A and B are shown apart, each in its own frame.
Chain A
């Protein structure tokens, strides 16, 4: 029998209830907003870049626990790292941070942060993982 804690692990709930890197920046070098029209999730990221590094990153908006926790986890992980690393992030990285398997609908919740981050940093608008799904 599937129990809620298989999905809503402590880790996810912790990031959902106590999000890291939450908020906005007054003078971001990069700011980008995206939404998941399926569920009404909205996400904005603000990034301050210094010497090619993500000096500060903040996320704001609203959404389900999966999208919010994923945003919190990914921002926490990327702060202080080279902006270039954003390009290399994959669907698997996000899922590894979350530590769970997700169905197709909830997967979009999880990947909203990745989509927003990549689009903001590089104008990459292709849905992460789309390559293999449509292949």
Chain B
């Protein structure tokens, strides 16, 4: 089940985890590479680092059995095909899904675009409504803006409270007129770390005759996610935030929907039969996978899934949340520091903040000079920043290799930034 455990206690952060983050860290070549100043990587919400096993798996594919999939009759092509399909099967199992319902994409942005272009164009007509939230990443806003302009659909938004949580009380009103066909919601906010009650949203959406799309970019990499337990209809995820390579992500959707929807991209592999005047679509999931896919990346993602399973998603979530709680506690020490988002028990391993009047870019630059990597800007969530009344923010985010010392370095760096700009 994906409901977060309530009331996580604080520091010494990771000692309660079932894995030792210091040992885990040793398996990430980039993190243990000699560097002066040493790297303090606090931008895992943007992209995670990659363990040796992922790099080795991709290298092994290219060196030993590089071949195109689903075509060759020869041994290495069969091996490549088996590896690619095994990656799908393992990813499917990882999120409680069936292989046939998992479509490989480039990333979650492409997965959401697939829903907008294939399902949306097919299912939505003028006057239909798509409900989103104010805390969506641009990737779950812009595809719908495009569709709204093209199809005359209406967009509505679940508002966000001052503390960065969804105003769920508004949802029944938004659903009331029966015109809503889809509710799209981010599972964990990439800015605030807020863990949204997706199950409850899906339940209400279904009762109103609407489908649910979950942007799981930040949740699948950090917590147990089971699509059946969430009760959603579409779920978008990306590989590079879950210790895997860039260029591979996935859309999960209920089989009936995928069967009914027309394809997204046309080309090789997604067809069963092509004549000059038309084509018949391939069966699932290949109907949605046109052209040569990211084979090496799928193989890398398979290794990443194995790595995550080895540590355990419960343990990773607990570790991330404990670190976030520790960060919240330590950052209170820094004068003029304002944390954005909800209290520790309602968030994942993400902490966005403002430091007095100091621009987040300046904060990030001072930190960078001390080897500390944080994100600064609007984090592809401009409407959320508008709502919170800040033009931009700085953000620290964690993964399984993050340690309390990273937080300590951050806090020291923030004190220093105040001195520089004070």
* A residues neighboring B (CB under 8 Å): 1-4, 6-8, 13, 16-17, 37-42, 62-66, 105-106, 109
Closest to B419 in A: A4
Closest to A3 in B: B369
Chain B residues at the A interface, C-beta cutoff of 8 Å: 36-37, 359-362, 365-366, 368-369, 376-378, 382, 385, 391-392, 416, 420-421
Is there an interface contact between B376 and A106, defined as CB atoms closer than 8 Å? no
Bound form: Cα–Cα A41–B36 in Å: 31
**Smallest CB–CB gap between A14 and chain B, Å?**
12
Whole-angstrom distance between the alpha carbons of A23 and B385 in the complex? 26
The residue on A at minimum CB distance from B367 is A4
| Contact A7/B369 with A1-B36, A40-B391 known, Cβ cut-off 8 Å | yes
Number of A-B contacts (CB under 8 A): 58
* Residues B421 and A39 in contact, CB atoms below 8 Å apart: no
User: In the complex, A103 Cα to B368 Cα: how many Å?
Assistant: 12
A4-B416, A6-B369 given as contacts; is B377 within 8 A of A64 (CB)? no
Can you name 10 A-B residue pairings with CB atoms under 8 Å?
A2-B369, A4-B369, A4-B420, A8-B362, A39-B359, A39-B392, A42-B391, A63-B359, A64-B360, A64-B362
Instruction: List B contacts of A62 (CB < 8 A).
Output: 359, 391
Give every chain A residue within 8 A of B385 (Cβ-Cβ).
40
CB neighbours (8 Å) of B362 from chain A are 8, 64-66
B361 contacts across to A, CB distance below 8 A: 39, 64, 66, 105-106, 109
Complex Cα distance, B362 from A64, in Å, reads: 6
Which residue of B360, B377, B385 has the most chain A CB atoms within 10 A of its CB atom?
Answer: B377
CB–CB A65/B360 < 8 A: no
CB distance from A113 to the nearest CB of B (A): 15
Question: B372 → chain A, closest Cβ, in Å?
Answer: 12
Residue of B nearest to A2 (CB): B369
- How far, in whole Å, are A9 and B395 apart by their CA atoms in the complex? 25
Give every chain B residue within 8 A of A37 (Cβ-Cβ): 382
A residues within 8 A CB of B360? 39, 64
Using CB atoms, name the residue of chain A closest to B417: A4
B366's closest neighbor in chain A, by CB? A4
Quote the shortest CB–CB distance from A49 to chain B (angstroms). 31
| Known A-B contacts A4-B416, A13-B420, A62-B391; A39 and B376 likewise in contact (beta carbons under 8 Å) | yes
Measured CB to CB, the closest approach of chain A to B399, in angstroms, equals 23
Q: Decide: A40 and B378 in contact? CB cutoff 8 A.
A: yes
Residues of A within 8 A of B365 (CB): 4, 7-8, 106
Instruction: Give CA–CA (A13, B362) in the complex, Å.
Output: 11
- Taking CB atoms, residues of chain B closer than 8 Å to A4 are 365-366, 369, 416, 420
Q: Report chain B residues within 8 Å CB of A66.
A: 361-362
Name the one of A6, A17, A64 contacting B359, with C-beta atoms under 8 angstroms.
A64
Q: Which of A8, A13, A62, A64 gathers most chain B CB within 10 Å?
A: A64
What's the minimum C-beta distance from B92 to chain A, rounded to whole angstroms?
37
- State whether A40 touches B377 (Cβ < 8 A): yes
Bound-state Cα–Cα, A39 to B37, Å: 26
Chain B residues lying within 8 Å of A42, measured Cβ to Cβ, are 391
Residues in A whose Cβ lies below 8 Å from that of B382: 37
- The reply to whether A40 and B420 form a contact with Cβ atoms under 8 Å apart is no
Within the assembled complex, what's the spacing in Å between the Cα atoms of A63 and B421?
A: 13
CB distance from B390 to the nearest CB of A (A): 8
Supposing A40-B391, A40-B392 touch, asked if A65 and B421 sit within 8 A by C-beta, the answer is: yes
Assembly CA distance A26 to B314 (angstroms): 61
In the complex, how many angstroms separate the beta carbon of B358 from the nearest chain A beta carbon?
8
State the CA gap A38–B364 with chains docked (Å).
14
Residues of B within 8 A of A8 (CB): 362, 365-366, 420-421
Query: What are the 10 closest A-B residue pairs judged by CB atoms, nearest first?
Result: A40-B391, A64-B359, A64-B361, A40-B392, A2-B369, A65-B362, A64-B362, A4-B369, A4-B366, A39-B361
A40 to B420, CA, bound (A): 22
Question: Which residues of the other chain, B, contact A63 by a CB distance below 8 angstroms?
Answer: 359
Other-chain residue from B366, B377, B421 in contact with A38 (beta carbon distance below 8 A): B377
- Shortest C-beta distance, A7 to chain B (Å), equals 6
Measured in the bound complex, the distance between the Cα atoms of B366 and A13 in whole Å is 13
Do A65 and B359 touch (CB < 8 A)? Answer: yes
CA distance A42 to B36 in the complex (A): 35
Q: Given the complex of chains A and B, what is the CA–CA distance between A6 and B36 in angstroms?
A: 16
* A residues near B366, Cβ cutoff 8 Å: 4, 8
CA distance A64 to B392 in the complex (A): 10
Chain A residue numbers with a CB within 8 Å of B421 are 8, 13, 16-17, 65
20 A-B pairs besides A2-B37, A4-B420 with CB distance below 8 A are: A2-B368, A4-B416, A7-B369, A8-B362, A8-B366, A8-B420, A38-B378, A39-B392, A40-B377, A40-B385, A40-B391, A62-B391, A63-B359, A64-B359, A64-B360, A65-B359, A65-B362, A105-B361, A106-B365, A109-B361
